[in-house]
Amino acid sequence: LRYGTNPHQKAALYKPVESRDGMGNVEWIKWGKDGPSATNIEDGNHGLRIVGYFDGPAAAVMKHLNPSGVAVGRSGQILSGVYVRARDADPRAAFGSVVAFNRPVDRSTAEELSKTFVEVVYAPDFEPSALTILNAKKDIRLGKVRTLVDDQTHPDIVVLDDGSLIFEDSYSTKIQSENDLKQLSVTTRRLPTEAEYTAMLHSWWTACEVRSNAVVFWKDGVSLAIGTGQQDRIGAIEACIEKAHRYRHDLNGSVMASDGFLPKMDNVEAVAKEGVSGIIQPGGSVEDPELVKACDQHGISMILTGERSFRHF
The answer to whether 290 touches 267, Cβ cutoff 8 Å, is no
- pLDDT at residue 177, rounded to an integer: 96
d(CA 135, CA 131): 6
Burial (0-12, 13-18, 19+ Cβ within 10 Å), 8 = exposed
Q: What is the pLDDT of residue 33?
A: 82
- Whole-number pLDDT of residue 76: 81
- b/e map of 176-197 (b: 16 or more CB within 10 Å)? eeeeebeebebbbebebeeebb
pTM reported for the whole predicted model: 0.95
CA distances from 294 to 92, 188, 218, 252 (A): 35, 9, 21, 17
Q: What pLDDT, on a 0 to 100 scale, did the predictor assign at position 116? A: 95
Q: What is the mean pLDDT of each run of 10 residues along the chain (313 residues)?
A: 96 90 93 92 96 96 98 91 98 97 98 97 98 95 83 85 95 95 96 98 97 96 96 95 97 97 94 98 95 97 96 90
* Domains within the chain, CATH numbers bracketed: 23-144 (3.40.140.20), 178-304 (3.40.140.20)
Nearest to 258, CA basis, from 298, 223, 206: 206
* pLDDT at residue 162, as a whole number: 96
C-beta of residue 126 within 8 angstroms of C-beta of residue 142: yes
